[in-house]
Each structure stands twice: as C-alpha cells, then as structure tokens.
C-alpha cells in the first residue's frame, strides 16, 4: 500500500495552458471589480500620501489568480500632505464566493501606472484609508485576468490522477510512504516500488515492538529499474520484524520533478483528456441523430485511480 506523505503543490499543466489548447473562452473567470469611491479624508488630517493627483482601482484575488484592474476611480488631488495627506476609499467592491482577498492600486503623483497600495485579506471590508507615499507603492497592477473557472481546476486534477494511474507513477515530485507487513524473505529480497528519485528512510517495528530506522548503509536503491528496487547492501540482510500489518515503512521521493520536467507527451495526453471532459460533461450527448452515449469505458475509467483490485473480504 502506498499513500501520499507530502503531496505535490502544483499541477503538471496550468489552467491557461488547458484553456488555450481546448480553445475555451474566459467566460468562467472572476470579473474585474467596479469603481472605488475616493475622496480626501474628512476632517482634513496630515498624512503620507504624496501631494498631487491620484487615481485608484482594485482587483479580485482567488485561489487561481488575480483579475485585471477594475474600473478607475475619479482623480483625488492632495494639495499639501502636511494639511490633508490621507485619502479615504469607500464602496470598495466585494467579489463573488471564490474571492479570498482584494488588492488596491494607485497611481503615483500625476502618473498613469497603477501600483500596489494594499491588500485587503478578506472579501467583506469596503473601506480603506490611504496613508502611503509614492515611494512605498509596490508592483504594477496585472493586465491579464488569471482567475479561472473552478471546474477547470477539477478537470486538471482528474486528468493528472488518470495519467498517474496509467503510468503507475506520480508526475510532480512528492514524498510517499509505502507499507509492507515484513521485509522480503525470498531471494532476491527486493522491495519493489514505483519509479523513484530517492529513498528518504526505511523504518520498521522490531520483534520487541520498538520502531527502528534502518541505516542508509544497510540498503541499496536501484532507481534505474522499473519498478525501482531496494535491496540489502552487500553483506547485509533485512532485519527481523514483529508479526503485524504495516510493520515496514519505506518513505521515498517520486515524480519527474517540477511541472517543467513532466514529458510533453504526458501533458498532451492530459490536455486531450481535459478537452474531452470539458466538452462532454454528461455521459449522454444529444445531437442531430438523437441521443448518443459516451463509451462507458471512458466514463468508468475516471474511477481507476481509486479502484480496489483483488480480494477485499
């Protein structure tokens, strides 16, 4: 039995790559925010906003990315920061259910580029007081909407799981635990694993019930074979274990590497599957010739990565 100990944090392909391949428009993206109301703070109070004219806009942030800048506010002019150097922002737009935070951007004095002013780490607050000098503004507002339809993320994960099931290997580097009831007792005494990068540790329950860690010098890893093999080092043998289930745990690192290291043929397979899933969201398709059923083998194959084989009881 193999379980994920430290799962991969990324997918082999991005939502943008999938949309481009499948020629999917951006109708499912989070729309950019509307306009912010901006005015000099009242009553007048000294602050740090650099004297001059400024405009504001906001973006929405989701788990996938950030929208492009929203509608630009009317200009607010700070005549003298020593008198009124703060700007009150109200009616800050609230996004949809997927929005986790919002970012505010502002121009420098008489500028046209919108630079990061602040991040509002919620989707509820509608006011903010600007007390930031031009020199402290941050990165430029994005010009491209990188948020995505949540369905695309589901389809990417599904396609990746199917590819891993077909290949019997994880795609992106991750750490896994393999469990065995005991060490192999028959020649060639091999522990067989999926394609791996390295073995992190081998632990086992000894005959007294204590957890032991096998020294790295006690075993040899053959990562070139398929499946990979772990065997006792020359002159060594596997230790005795307590007679119980999952007495031996092999922690190992597997996967091709980062997303850029996943072979293009695998990515192409995923893209084709994603497009098929996107365009066929039902097992039945209605066309000019009536109702057609998608081959059950394709639909049922979506369960392969979770399928249990062999005797259960």
Decide if 87 is inside a domain.
yes
Decide if 115 is inside a domain.
yes
List, for residues 169-228, the tens digit of each pLDDT value: 889 999 999 999 999 987 778 888 888 899 999 999 999 999 999 999 999 999 888 888
Decide if 73 is inside a domain.
yes
Decide if 179 is inside a domain.
no
Decide if 86 is inside a domain.
yes
Structural domain containing residue 101: 29-136
Q: What is the pLDDT of residue 144?
A: 84
CA of 63: how far to CAs of 13, 99, 175, 240, in Å? 16, 8, 24, 48
Q: What is the pLDDT of residue 311?
A: 44
Number of domains in the chain: 1
Q: Is 211 helix (H, G, I), strand (E, B) or coil?
A: strand
Decide if 40 is inside a domain.
yes
Burial state string for 277-295 with b = 16 or more CB within 10 A and e = fewer than 16? bbeeeeeeeeeeeeeeeee
pLDDT at position 303 over 90: no
Decide if 92 is inside a domain.
yes
List, for residues 75-132, the tens digit of each pLDDT value: 999 999 999 999 999 999 999 888 999 999 999 998 999 999 999 999 999 999 999 9
List, for residues 118-134, the tens digit of each pLDDT value: 999 999 999 999 999 99
Decide if 60 is inside a domain.
yes
Residue 80 has, within 13 A of its CA and on its CB side, a CA count of 4
Q: Is 191 helix (H, G, I), strand (E, B) or coil?
A: strand
């Amino acid at each position: 039995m193999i379980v994920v100990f430290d799962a991969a944090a990324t997918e082999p392909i991005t939502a943008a790559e999938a949309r481009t391949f499948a020629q999917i428009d951006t109708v499912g993206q989070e729309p950019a925010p509307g306009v912010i109301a901006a005015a000099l703070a009242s009553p007048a109070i000294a602050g740090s906003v650099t004297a001059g004219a400024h405009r504001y806009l906001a973006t929405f942030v989701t788990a996938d990315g950030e929208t492009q800048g929203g509608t630009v506010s009317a200009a607010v002019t700070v005549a003298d920061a020593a008198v009124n150097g703060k700007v009150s922002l109200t009616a800050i737009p609230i996004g949809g259910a997927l929005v986790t935070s919002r970012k505010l951007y502002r121009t420098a004095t008489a500028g046209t580029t919108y630079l990061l002013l602040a991040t509002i780490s919620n989707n509820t607050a509608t006011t903010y007081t600007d007390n930031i000098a031009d020199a402290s503004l941050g990165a430029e507002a994005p010009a491209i909407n990188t948020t995505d339809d949540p369905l695309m993320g589901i389809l990417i994960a599904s396609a990746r799981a199917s590819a891993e099931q077909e290949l019997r290997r994880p795609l992106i580097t991750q750490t896994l635990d393999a469990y065995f009831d005991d060490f192999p007792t028959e020649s060639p005494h091999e522990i067989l694993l999926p394609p791996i990068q390295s073995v992190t540790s081998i632990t086992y329950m000894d005959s007294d019930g204590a957890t032991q860690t096998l020294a790295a010098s006690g075993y040899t890893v053959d990562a070139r074979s398929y499946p990979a093999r772990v065997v006792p080092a020359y002159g060594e043998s596997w230790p005795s274990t307590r007679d119980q289930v999952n007495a031996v745990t092999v922690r190992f690192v597997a996967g091709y590497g980062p997303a850029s290291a996943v072979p293009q043929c695998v990515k192409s397979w995923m893209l084709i599957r994603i497009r098929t899933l996107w365009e066929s969201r039902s097992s039945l398709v209605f066309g000019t010739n009536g109702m057609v059923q998608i081959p059950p083998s394709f639909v049922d194959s979506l369960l392969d990565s979770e399928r249990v084989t062999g005797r259960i009881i």
